[in-house]
């Protein structure tokens, strides 16, 4: 998402860094490029106009002109305005005075409400909060069954009832949730291909009967400004409290993320970044602003690592490295752990200076090579992985055939592994490993 915008912003910022002073002339050129970048990214034109006015007013001020590094001051102003446009801060789900807190999901058909309901329930489960899923979509065939399948997959209960009358359904749901003592009830509601009064009336009735702690509008980022307009209509006609943006992993222009908060006045709380149940991330405006400006997102990368890596396994691994017992089995284990972080392009995109994958064409990683490497190691016997010196020419040929890779690649894997083990003996690496080992023991 927003790859072209990142590229254009970086071009503007490089231009400003090359200027000794910030003048009316060079600032006008920079603002013109920023305006075009935002409009091309499908950002609402009124939001763009306000954004440019704010930057111009602050950038041409006395503080910038008299600073030792004017371009850095301007970059800081652009970052602050981006954060303000995106909502300034991350916000948590609303809580209810008395359990359970009802979370009502609303949106158009196809926006991803049902899968988002499951993702949200899994997110709460990871926080040790109990959640109950419920579908109040009485129009769409198999809506309840779809949610039940999602619930079973993530290990979350799903409410069901033979009743097809909304008043009775909501009464049974409220009683069930209160009797069990759930922390949250996530309610999936009906959608349409377009906004109509029947849909709005149904949602108003559901809202009145449930009295939810929060109404979340689920917006499809692929629809661009249509998502913004729909969010505004839902906000005006039924009242929404926050937004979840889905399909941000797709090749969309992504302007919805930059427009929707300013237009609706409602915060984005989560973003959907994939199709898996765990692909729901808390929305951090400051982190997205930093990524747009090519500053990376190390905090998100660290959080991904903390959630994906096995702490005990990491501690054992560091000890094996210190003892120079790092085997090809350990190497394979680390490849599997890296795979949990997501694609290598995604990981590289979180590193400062690399930005979105669109900016790292020269550093792009071929994911197939990791699969080939794993296939080669998996084609070795347990003894060969523990002691690669056993692998002679005949064994290399067998491993090549078993993995479907040429002998030259088998040789390269063994060579790389040997060089890695040599590096672990060097003082610099041993110093890092000892620090990590001591840190792990304190955790």
List the CATH number of the domain containing 217: 3.40.50.300
Please check whether residues 230 and 245 belong to one and the same domain. Answer: yes
pLDDT value of residue 424: 66
Position 287 pLDDT exceeds 70: yes
pLDDT-derived band at 358 (thresholds 50, 70, 90) equals: very low
Average pLDDT, rounded, for the chain: 80
d(CA 184, CA 93): 10
Residue 286 or residue 122, greater confidence: 122
User: 96 in a domain, yes or no?
Assistant: no
Q: Where are the alpha helices (DSSP H) in 211-294?
A: 225-237, 255-264, 285-292
User: CATH code at 57?
Assistant: 1.20.120.140
Q: Which DSSP category does 188 fall into?
A: E
Residue 329: Cβ-neighbour burial (10 angstroms; 0-12, 13-18, 19+): middle
pLDDT-derived band at 363 (thresholds 50, 70, 90) equals: very low
Share of the chain above pLDDT 70, in %: 74
User: 12 in a domain, yes or no?
Assistant: yes
pLDDT value of residue 44: 85
Q: Of 48-62, 109-123, 340-354, 364-378, where does the model show the most confidence?
A: 109-123
Range of the domain at 60: 3-86
Concatenate the DSSP letters of all residues of 345-393 into one string.
HHHHHTSTTT-SGGG-GGG---HHHHHHHHHHHHTS-HHHHH-GGG--H
Please check whether residues 31 and 80 belong to one and the same domain. Answer: yes
pLDDT value of residue 117: 95
Residue 302 or residue 178, greater confidence: 178
The kind and range of the H/E element at 101 are strand 101-106
Residue 39 or residue 22, greater confidence: 39
Please check whether residues 320 and 284 belong to one and the same domain. Answer: no
Question: What pLDDT digit, counting tens, does each position of 150-165 carry?
Answer: 999 999 999 988 888 8
pLDDT-derived band at 57 (thresholds 50, 70, 90) equals: confident
Position 87 pLDDT exceeds 70: yes
Please check whether residues 140 and 214 belong to one and the same domain. Answer: yes
Position 74 pLDDT exceeds 90: no
| Count of the separate structural domains present in the chain | 3
Please check whether residues 286 and 306 belong to one and the same domain. Answer: no
d(CA 280, CA 269): 10
Apex CA 86: angle with CA 252 and CA 200, to 5°? 75
Residue 106's nearest CA partner among 195, 226, 175 is: 195
Please check whether residues 140 and 180 belong to one and the same domain. Answer: yes
Residue 27 or residue 316, greater confidence: 27
Question: What's the start-to-end Cα distance of the chain, in Å?
Answer: 36
pLDDT-derived band at 298 (thresholds 50, 70, 90) equals: very low
Position 426 pLDDT exceeds 80: no
The kind and range of the H/E element at 272 are strand 268-272
Please check whether residues 257 and 123 belong to one and the same domain. Answer: yes
Please check whether residues 125 and 203 belong to one and the same domain. Answer: yes
The first and second tokens of residue 37, run together, are: 């970048």
**Three-state secondary structure call for residue 269:** strand
Final residue belonging to a domain, choices 56, 86, 116? 86
pLDDT value of residue 221: 81
Please check whether residues 155 and 246 belong to one and the same domain. Answer: yes
pLDDT-derived band at 26 (thresholds 50, 70, 90) equals: confident
Please check whether residues 287 and 319 belong to one and the same domain. Answer: no
Question: What pLDDT digit, counting tens, does each position of 121-136 carry?
Answer: 999 999 999 999 999 9
Q: How many residues does the chain have?
A: 443
Final residue belonging to a domain, choices 294, 313, 331? 294
Share of the chain above pLDDT 90, in %: 31
Final residue belonging to a domain, choices 266, 294, 322? 294
User: 77 in a domain, yes or no?
Assistant: yes
pLDDT value of residue 45: 87
What is the rounded average pLDDT of the residues 279-302? Answer: 71
User: 73 in a domain, yes or no?
Assistant: yes
Position 362 pLDDT exceeds 60: no
The kind and range of the H/E element at 244 are strand 242-246
User: 93 in a domain, yes or no?
Assistant: no
């Amino acid at each position: 998402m927003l790859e072209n915008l990142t590229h254009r912003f970086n071009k503007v910022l490089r231009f400003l860094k090359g200027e000794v002073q910030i003048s009316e002339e060079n600032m006008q050129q920079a603002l013109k490029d920023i305006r075009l970048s935002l409009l091309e990214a499908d950002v609402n034109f009124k939001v763009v106009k306000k954004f440019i006015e704010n930057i111009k007013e602050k950038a041409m001020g006395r503080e910038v002109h008299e600073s030792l590094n004017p371009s850095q001051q301007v970059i800081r102003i652009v970052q602050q305005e981006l954060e303000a446009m995106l909502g300034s801060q991350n916000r948590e789900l609303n809580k209810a005075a008395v359990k359970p807190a009802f979370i009502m999901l609303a949106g158009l058909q196809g926006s991803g409400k049902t899968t988002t309901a499951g993702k949200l329930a899994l997110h709460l489960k990871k926080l040790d909060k109990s959640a109950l899923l419920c579908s109040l979509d009485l129009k769409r065939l198999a809506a309840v069954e779809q949610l039940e399948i999602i619930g079973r997959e993530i290990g979350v209960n799903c409410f069901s009832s033979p009743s097809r009358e909304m008043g009775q359904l909501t009464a049974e749901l409220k009683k069930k949730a209160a009797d069990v003592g759930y922390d949250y009830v996530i309610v999936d509601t009906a959608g349409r291909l377009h906004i109509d009064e029947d849909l709005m009336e149904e949602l108003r009735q559901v809202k009145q009967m449930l009295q939810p702690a929060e109404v979340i509008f689920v917006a499809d980022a692929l629809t661009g400004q249509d998502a913004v307009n729909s969010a505004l209509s839902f906000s005006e006609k039924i009242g929404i409290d926050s937004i979840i943006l889905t399909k941000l992993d797709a090749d969309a222009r992504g302007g919805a993320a930059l427009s929707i908060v300013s237009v609706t006045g409602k915060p984005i709380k989560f973003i959907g970044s994939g199709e898996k149940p765990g692909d729901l991330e808390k929305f951090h405006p400051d982190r997205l602003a930093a990524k747009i400006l090519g500053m990376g997102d190390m905090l998100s990368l660290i959080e991904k690592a903390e959630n994906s890596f096995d702490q005990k396994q990491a501690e054992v691994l560091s000890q094996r490295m210190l003892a120079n017992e790092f085997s090809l089995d350990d190497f394979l284990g680390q490849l599997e752990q890296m795979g949990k972080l997501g694609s290598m392009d995604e990981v590289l995109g979180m590193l400062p200076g690399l930005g979105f994958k669109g900016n790292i064409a020269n550093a792009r990683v071929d994911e197939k090579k990791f699969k080939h490497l794993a296939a080669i190691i998996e084609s070795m016997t347990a003894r060969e992985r523990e002691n690669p010196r056993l692998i002679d020419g005949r064994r290399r040929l067998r491993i090549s055939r078993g993995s479907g890779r040429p002998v030259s690649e088998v040789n390269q894997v063994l060579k790389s592994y040997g060089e890695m083990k040599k590096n672990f003996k060097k003082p610099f690496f041993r110093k890092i490993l000892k620090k990590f080992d001591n840190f792990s023991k304190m955790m």
